[in-house]
Each structure stands twice: as structure tokens, then as C-alpha cells.
């Protein structure tokens, strides 16, 4: 397994590019996030076309793919944050040139529908990327958390222990690169050239708004596709119940845990739940493609190698 390419860190005063690969977004929430980045000393760069709307998309596929490509090609841009998730990222993948992205490694931050871009950058380009907050959400972050986010993106030493006190559903230890994101989007790419690699990796999956039988269907797809056969371990992030769910969050979590254990029964890999990532305020930043160790006895996840060059 070849080592992933780590991007350069984000330094004081560096330019942050902003892209909208998926759905349109609230302009005020967006501008609030932009102001926070600028108040932190960063220059921001985004195109006027970022405010485009085409049905449920932030403009045409070519507009969105071109925007993302231009930001990566721009030598002044040191990090690319995403405005919003929603839907549409996977439509861009055939329009992206792996050589361009591989030749211009830089910090890429996003989650939810951006799982598709993470998979492309990881599988086709070999880059480490970052599952983290969207620009339209930054205004809801507590100031210390926002400062910590930017500081972390400048840290070239190994990040060490990033999660503790996790619930061990199946014990064991594992080490390997992290892969994952939104369970729905992750599964939507199965069987395509853009599917994330799972062999030898620790999978970290989260989602929102899916009923238990829908979660079961998605995990069954992972199982039947062979994606779980050689996975080293499974981390369950936050799974948010769908609107109208009347049986409580605890019951919903029990359903998800049971489904995950059933799906991984044949592989027997360790499974931990409660990793603090997903569709909720306070979700932590973590690097996809970076090597991590999972300890089922202690309930911890530790990043064992640097995820930023330096």
C-alpha cells in the first residue's frame, strides 16, 4: 500500500479558496463564514459563479468542476473549503483531471455529499483530505473550536489521540489509513471507478435522516460488494434519526449498532461506536487517507503519522 500524499499546512495569512461542488446555499450563512476566515487573518477567494442555482445544484456540472479545478491549480490557494453539501458532487467526478489534483496537493475540507470528492481525491489522486465543517456552518462554531480548527490545519506533527471513550461493539485492534464519510454517498460510489478503497483501511461512516431499514440496505450493499471483506476496522460516527422518528435517539443508535455488527460478522473486524463526527455541531476534523490505529480495549483512535507535509 503506497503512502498517501500529504498537503502543505495552512499558514498564517494564507489564501483559502471556497468551492460549491454540490447544492446552492444561504448567502448570509456563507458570508458569515467568509468573514470569520478573514478575521482570522486569511484571504478568501471564490468566484461570483459560486452563487449560481440550477435546480438543486450550485450551477452546472461544468461550472462546479471548473471552479474546483481552478482553485487547486491556483498556486496562491493553500486550502479549499466547501460552501455546502446537499447533492451533486458525484456528478463532477468524470470532469475532474486526476493529474491536476495530484500535482497540486492542498488541504480539502468538507463532509456529507463531499464524500464523493474525498473518494476521488483519495482513490484517483492519492491525496489526504479532511472531513470537516462547511463554510455555511462556521458561523455556528464556538470561537475556540474555530480557532482550533485553523490551528490543527497548520500542525505538521502527528495529531495523536483524536477520540477516546468510544463504545466497543466488537473488540480488537487495527491500524491503517482512514476512509469513509457519509454512508449514503460512500455506498452510491460502489461499483464505479470512483469508489473509495476499503482493503486494509479503517472505515469511518456517519449519516443523517435514514430509517433503520435504509441503513440496513446500505450496509448490505457494503457487505455484498466485498467492501467489508478486507477492511481493518469500522468506526461509527454520529447517525442522526430521520424527521418523525418517534422511538428516541437511543433506540435509533441501538438499531444502527446492531446493523453494523451483523454486516461485519463475517469479516470479524473490530467495531467502535460514538466517534464524534457527522451531521452535528461539534463534529471533529479528521484526515481521510492518513494512517490511524484503533484500540478496542481502550476505546481510542490515534493518528500515528503526520497528515500534513512539513
Positions marked active-site: 112, 206, 279
Q: Could you give the CA distance from residue 258 to residue 223 in angstroms, rounded to a whole number?
A: 14
Between CA 281 and CA 288, with CA 286 as vertex, the angle to 5 degrees is 130
Task: Check if the beta carbon of residue 73 is closer than 8 Å to that of residue 80.
Answer: no
User: Environment class of residue 8 by beta-carbon count within 10 Å: exposed (0-12), middle (13-18) or buried (19+)?
Assistant: middle
Set of cell numbers at residue 275: 466517534
Q: Could you give the CA distance from residue 65 to residue 272 in angstroms, rounded to a whole number?
A: 36
Q: Could you give the CA distance from residue 169 to residue 186 in angstroms, rounded to a whole number?
A: 22
User: Environment class of residue 268 by beta-carbon count within 10 Å: exposed (0-12), middle (13-18) or buried (19+)?
Assistant: exposed
Task: Check if the beta carbon of residue 127 is closer than 8 Å to that of residue 105.
Answer: yes
Amino acid at each position: 500500500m503506497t503512502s498517501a500524499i500529504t498537503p502543505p499546512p495552512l499558514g498564517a495569512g494564507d489564501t483559502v479558496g471556497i468551492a460549491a461542488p454540490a447544492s446552492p446555499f444561504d448567502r448570509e450563512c456563507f458570508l458569515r463564514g467568509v468573514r470569520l476566515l478573514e478575521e482570522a487573518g486569511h484571504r478568501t477567494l471564490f468566484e461570483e459563479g459560486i452563487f449560481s442555482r440550477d435546480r438543486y445544484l450550485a450551477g452546472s456540472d461544468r461550472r462546479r468542476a471548473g471552479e474546483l479545478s481552478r482553485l487547486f491549480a491556483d498556486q496562491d490557494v493553500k486550502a479549499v473549503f466547501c460552501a455546502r453539501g446537499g447533492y451533486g458532487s458525484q456528478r463532477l467526478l468524470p470532469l475532474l483531471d486526476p493529474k491536476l489534483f495530484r500535482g497540486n496537493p492542498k488541504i480539502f475540507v468538507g463532509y456529507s455529499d463531499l464524500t464523493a470528492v474525498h473518494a476521488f481525491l483519495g482513490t484517483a489522486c492519492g491525496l489526504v483530505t479532511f472531513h470537516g465543517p462547511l463554510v455555511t456552518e462556521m458561523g455556528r462554531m464556538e470561537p475556540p473550536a474555530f480557532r482550533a480548527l485553523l490551528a490543527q490545519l497548520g500542525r505538521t506533527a502527528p495529531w495523536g489521540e483524536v477520540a477516546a471513550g468510544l463504545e466497543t461493539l466488537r473488540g480488537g485492534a487495527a491500524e491503517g489509513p482512514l476512509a469513509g464519510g457519509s454512508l449514503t454517498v460512500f455506498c452510491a460510489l460502489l461499483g464505479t471507478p470512483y469508489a473509495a478503497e476499503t482493503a486494509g483501511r479503517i472505515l469511518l461512516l456517519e449519516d443523517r435522516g435514514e430509517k433503520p431499514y435504509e441503513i440496513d440496505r446500505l450496509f448490505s450493499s457494503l457487505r455484498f460488494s466485498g467492501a467489508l471483506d478486507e477492511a481493518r476496522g469500522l468506526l461509527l460516527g454520529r447517525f442522526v434519526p430521520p424527521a418523525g422518528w418517534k422511538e428516541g435517539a437511543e433506540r435509533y443508535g441501538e438499531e444502527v449498532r446492531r446493523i453494523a455488527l451483523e454486516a461485519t460478522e463475517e469479516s470479524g473486524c473490530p467495531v467502535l461506536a460514538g466517534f464524534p463526527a457527522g451531521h452535528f455541531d461539534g463534529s471533529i476534523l479528521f484526515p481521510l487517507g492518513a494512517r490511524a490505529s484503533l484500540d478496542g480495549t481502550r476505546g481510542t483512535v490515534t493518528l500515528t503519522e503526520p497528515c500534513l507535509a512539513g
